[in-house]
Each structure stands twice: as structure tokens, then as C-alpha cells.
Amino acid sequence: MSQTKADELRNALVDDILTQRHLPAAVERALRTVPRETFLPGIKLEDAYTDQAVTIKDHPDGGPLPLSCASVPSVVAMMLAQLAAKPDDNILEVGAGTGYNAALLAELAHEGKVTAVDIDADVALHARTTLNAAGYERVKVLERDGLLHVWESAPYDRIMATVGVWDIPTTWWSQLLDGGRLVLPLRWRGQTRSVALTRHGDTLVSDAMELCGFVPIIGQTSEKTALLTATGSVRVHYDADQAVDASALANTLAHAPCRGAWSAQRIGKGETFDGVWLRATASDDRVCRLEVTPEAVQQDLVRKPAMPSRSPALIDGDSLAYLTYRREDADPQRPFQLGAAAYGPHGESLAQHLIAHIEAWGADRTALPRMTITPVETAPPTGHTIEKWESRITLAY
């Protein structure tokens, strides 16, 4: 197809993204300038300009997630807006991927420097090749573990991770200038959110966070899984610091389901309720992620969760409660009522706690917590603290 057609498709995609969110003028210009198709050789032009992720390398162990992919363009745009890069910034990107995001960063920091690293040799070579083809030879691409020190161009004004991160490594503190900005898909209690943080001495303080999903970074294996069925059709995912007894949970579904509970909160079709999960993590260390396969739902092994692949759940010994919903036509604008399904001896109590989290979210559905991250050896600020290996996350509303 002609270059004119590519330009038309690119501009149409950006126009569509602009209907979803406001973008800084510099980010909009970068998205309209960088040819995404160049970074996705072999992909149909129309597919290069749809708002979806594109896998460029499958995971070698055959896992469900790819090793590397081109992120959803609207998510890319959102994270670039969070980064707030300046023309003369020195930027580090962790997770080179296709090279597309590095090209966008080069447009934003056109008077500065951009370094992109990737642990996989094939991915790093792909990024280097496509960046050269698109005319971004000045972007430095290194085959490097992004969790380690990238000393060649350090220190950096901005660090941006385009892979899911469970913990802030100590090396990033030594590379980010005081007053510098870090944007990353941060994972805690089973959810992933793109968090924008500014460094103030020994603290990183958030001013934005949005739900997202990313391939996890290689080298941080601090999430665990407990099976509630022998086949793994129902499972919970939890963090290493959480007191979850996987053997006890194996018998949870053997108990008859509890009555559960229903909240006063209702939602309309397409209305997001992920804030319930976020709100719960700011005060409750029992929050995990429940995953239920479609087969388990069809076989009626459990009451259907609000989101079968990823619903917040509270775990206590051999009991759990998780987010569910039912249709109540009394309010045609918001016909779906949020509630808690529960199993196990302490299920009813857990359901009531989950309802309290739902109601707290419902009182201010757009509220976001203030996240403060400190190195593990320093004292955390006031608030609910989540322990990682190298850092502490403190959340406070």
C-alpha cells in the first residue's frame, strides 16, 4: 500500500485515541510521526494501526504470555503522557520490544538521548534493525538485563519500563536523577497499573496510575499460585509476602458456597469497577487475584466471578471471597449490582470485608491513592505498606 494510506491509517488511529483521552501536543505529534508499520515487518498495514498488541516473539517455555510484543497503542500513548518527557531529557527504556516506543521517545526527547535495553538478543536486534530502518539511528540499543545498571548513559532524567515490574530494583535508584520521573507497569496484589512517580531524595511519589497489562520482566519471580481444583481450572495468584496456605486452599471448594453478600453499588454496561481492587489493596493484605477458566464457569464449579480471568479475592486460610455481580433491572442505567461470593468456614466474614471495600470505592469512584515507594532499608511513610524484596510500597487515600 502507498505511504499515503499508511499516513491515513496512522492519523485515524491517533484520532481514535484522542476520543478516549487527552494527550499532550508533543505526544500526539510523535504518534502521528513515527511509522508503526516499520517496527512490525510482516504485519498487514491495517493490523499495524489497530488498537491492539502484536506479539513479536513467543515465550520459549510455551507459556501463555509472549516474551515480547508491541504494546496496545492507546496504552503506549497513556504512558508517554505520564512520562512527561522534555526535549533535552536523557531517557532509559527498559524493554526495547519492537523499537517503536524508543522511536516515540526519540521524537519527544529530540535534543536529548534515548537508550533502550532488552535482555533477549533477538528482541534487541529486532529493535536495532527497525529503528535504523525508520531513521532513528541515534537511539542506543543494548542487550542488557534491565534490572541491572545501564551505566553507559546514566544518570537519567526519565526511566520508562515497558515490561511488568513487581519490585523497584536498587539499581534504578542509582540511575534516576533526583527530581527525575519513573513510569512503569507496577504489579501488586495481582493487579498491574501504569504508575508515574517522581523522585524526591529517597522516595518516589506517584501522581498518576492507570490500569494496564504487560508481559512480566524476566528475573522477578515473586508471585505464587495456589490451585483450588486438581486441574487448575480455579486458582489464586498471590505475592511472596502474603500469608497464603496453598494446601489449605486446595479444599476450599469442597465446602458448600456461603450465602455471600451484596453491596449497594451498581454499575452500567461497560462501566469500570477495577477501583474496588485498588481500594482494597490500600488497607488489606489478604487481596489476591482469582482466575477461573471458562470451563470451570460452565461446569458451575464456582459462582461466576465479575471477571473470570482476573477478579480480586480475599483469602484467609481455607476460605475466600471474591467479587461477583448480578443483574437488577430496578435501575436501567446501572443494572448490575456488585457483591461478594464466598467459600469456606470464614467465607461470610471475608464477604463482609469485601463489601466494605466495594462501598468505600463507591463513595468516590475516581479517587486514587497516593503511592510512595522507598528503598527497603529506609523507614516507610505513614500508610498501608506492602513489602517487596528491594523496596516498600505505601498506599494512602
- The reported pTM is 0.92
The pLDDT, as a whole number, for residue 379 is 86
The pLDDT, as a whole number, for residue 2 is 61
Determine whether 263 is an active site residue.
no
Classify domain 3-211 by CATH number: 3.40.50.150
Q: What are phi and psi of 236, to 5 degrees?
A: -125, 145
The pLDDT, as a whole number, for residue 59 is 47
The pLDDT, as a whole number, for residue 93 is 98
Spatial CB neighbours of 318, under 8 Å, sequence gap ≥ 6: 245, 248, 249, 251, 252, 255, 344, 345, 346
Instruction: Write out the chain's pLDDT in tens, 397 residues.
Output: 467 999 999 999 999 999 999 999 999 999 999 999 999 998 899 999 999 888 765 545 545 544 467 789 999 999 999 999 999 999 999 999 999 999 999 999 999 999 999 999 999 999 999 999 999 999 999 999 999 999 999 999 999 999 999 999 999 999 999 999 999 999 999 999 999 999 999 999 999 999 998 888 888 878 999 999 999 999 999 999 999 999 999 989 988 888 889 999 999 988 999 999 999 999 999 999 999 999 998 888 888 999 999 999 999 999 999 999 999 887 889 999 999 999 999 999 999 999 999 999 999 999 999 999 999 999 888 889 999 999 999 999 9
The pLDDT, as a whole number, for residue 362 is 97
How far apart are alpha carbons 114 and 136 in whole angstroms?
A: 10
The pLDDT, as a whole number, for residue 61 is 54
Catalytic residue among 2, 68, 71, 194: 71
